[in-house]
Structure formats: structure tokens, C-alpha cells
Structure 1
Amino acid sequence: MGMLKSRLQDDMKTAMKAGDKPRLGVIRLMLAAIKQREVDERIELDDAQTLAVLDKMVKQRRDSISQYESAGREDLAEVERFEVGIIQDYLPAALSETEIAALVEEAVAASGAAAMSDMGKVMNVLRPHIQGRADMGAVSALVKQRLGG
């Protein structure tokens, strides 16, 4: 079992004992998403795969927040923001814009990318370094810009 998954299970027990129902609910959601992927793919996720699941959960919640805000449902947006905050506790520290730009440059050089058709190669090099540490949509836009798209 990955360290991240065991940390989640320990934190779930702590939240149960403390009676922290909101935090407990979010931790259970994370564990359920991890378990779902493990069952679907018949594997045990390592920490990198677990991070990918948590990163996807944050992205889904950010999408929901923008939809709730545009619909004037601040109450629902606030619930999603709370969940994002809890999930981000388990993700590595976010990268700065300069760190992301440097990683993009390294990935372009490493993959030998010269045109937009090479974007997939660049993203495949980048993904393991930035998963859970940056918004993949923003990174993708940077790569497009760098490749002249």
C-alpha cells in the first residue's frame, strides 16, 4: 500500500475519533475514488497513481465551483471549496509559474518537440513531474504557446 493511501486511512480514523464529520466525509470520498480505480483496473495504486486520482478530484471540484458560482449557488460552491482544501492537503506543494515554465522548457528539449504535433510527447514527459502540483489545463496552454500554437 502506498504511503499516501495509508496516510488517508490514518487521517480517517483520527477524524472519526475527533467527530470531525465534514473532514471525514471528504477523506471517505478520496478513499472511495482510489478504491474504485483499484477495483476497475484490478491493481493496487502506487502513490503516483493515487496522486492522479486526487488531482482529478480537485479538477472536478474546480469545474463545479465555477458552475455553481455562475448559477448563483454560493452555498454549493463553498462546499466544493472546502473539499478542494482538504484534498489539496494530500497533494504535493504547488509549483510556481517559473518552475512550471522551466519544466516546460526541459520537456520540450528532452522530447525534441518542434511543432504542435509534438504536444503529446511534451505532455507525456511533463506529466510525472507536475501531476498534482499544477493545473494541467494551464500547463497545456503554456506548452501550446511554447510550440507556437
Structure 2
Amino acid sequence: MSLLERLTDDMKQAMKDKDKEKLSVIRMVKAALQNEVIKLGHDLSEEEELTVLNRELKQRKDSLLEFENAGRSDLADKIKLEIEILMNYMPKQLTEEELEEIVKQTISEVNATSKADMGKVMGAIMPKVKGKADGSFVNRLVMKHLS
């Protein structure tokens, strides 16, 4: 089942359940996906759908940080719920151990030896873990292994 089909089914269910928050998030994601289709001029591949989902998730995580720093717990709670709903559509996240193994493997593949090779390593890792791990967490792991 494609992401768009899942979203449509979940949207119908949210309407039946009168779950306004979930319905709102699903509509926003569907709109973002549709905008991407219009922008690219073709149906989205699974990877392109994942890119849109990641972008939506990142926007909400950034907003959450800002709301928490501003002491707006009411808005922060709303964003946390949106993030939770979005996470249902993301692929299963890699564990720290799995990620650590991928980082070690990639460092040896590209023959990285110092922090100067950071870009080379990140460029090789990110396509492997796209949507399955947070980029900043991957960055920290790579830094740890290159130092």
C-alpha cells in the first residue's frame, strides 16, 4: 500500500472517529505531497515521498524546540502530537547499535581517517539511512568515530 493510499484510508478513519488533530496533520502531509507532485511534474517515488515526510517532521521538530525555548508548553504539546502522528508514516527507525555498525562500515569503505573526511562519510551514509535515522544523531556518531 502506497503512502498516499495509507494517508487517504487514515484520513477517512480520522473523520469517522472525529479526531481533528490527526485529520489536520494528514491533510497537511497530503497537501505537501501534492505540492511536490506539482513541483516535480510526475508521481512521487517512495524515496521522494520519504523526503517530503522528513521535511514535514523536521519542520515540526524545529518548531517544538522554538516553542519549548519560549516557554509555550501549550503549543509544544500540540506539535508533539503532530510529530507522533507523522512518525506512524515513517519507516522503522534504526537502533543506535545498527547505526553504529553502519557508521563504522562506511568509514572503512571510504577510508576516512580524520574529521577532514566528515563530508565524504556523511555523503556516503545518508542515502543508506534516509528516513531511518536523524541526521544530527548520525553526524554525532560519525564525529565520535572520526576523532
TM-score by length of 2: 0.88
Which residue is 1:33 aligned to? 32
Which residue is 1:8 aligned to? 7
2:76 is the alignment partner of 1:70: no
Q: Give structure 1 regions of 4+ aligned residues with deviation exceeding 4 angstroms.
A: none
Counterparts of 1:42 and 1:109 in 2: how far apart (Å)? 39
Aligned pairs for 1:66-145 (under 5 A) are 66-145=65-144
Question: Which stretch shows the higher mean deviation, 129-138 or 106-115?
Answer: 106-115
Residues 128/22 of structure 1: CA separation in 2 closer, same or farther (3 Å cut): same
Residues 39/120 of structure 1: CA separation in 2 closer, same or farther (3 Å cut): farther
Code of the residue aligned with 1:111 in structure 2: it is V
Counterparts of 2:37 and 2:109 in 1: how far apart (Å)? 32
CA displacement, residues 4-37 of structure 1 (integer Å, 9 cap, x when unaligned): 2221122112222332221111001111111222
2:53 is the alignment partner of 1:51: no
Structure 2 unmatched runs, 5+: none
Code of the residue aligned with 1:36 in structure 2: it is N
Counterparts of 1:122 and 1:43 in 2: how far apart (Å)? 31
* Percent identical: 39
CA RMSD of aligned residues (A): 1.8
Counterparts of 1:47 and 1:31 in 2: how far apart (Å)? 14
Query: CA contact under 8 A between 1:51 and 1:132: conserved in structure 2?
Result: yes
SS at match of 1:81: helix
CA displacement, residues 95-144 of structure 1 (integer Å, 9 cap, x when unaligned): 21111111111121223333434333322322233222221111112212
TM-score by length of 1: 0.87
Counterparts of 1:79 and 1:91 in 2: how far apart (Å)? 19
How many residues align? The count is 147
Structure 1 unmatched runs, 5+: none
SS at match of 2:112: coil
Counterparts of 1:84 and 1:126 in 2: how far apart (Å)? 24
Counterparts of 1:56 and 1:72 in 2: how far apart (Å)? 24
Report how far residue 62 of structure 1 moved: 1.3
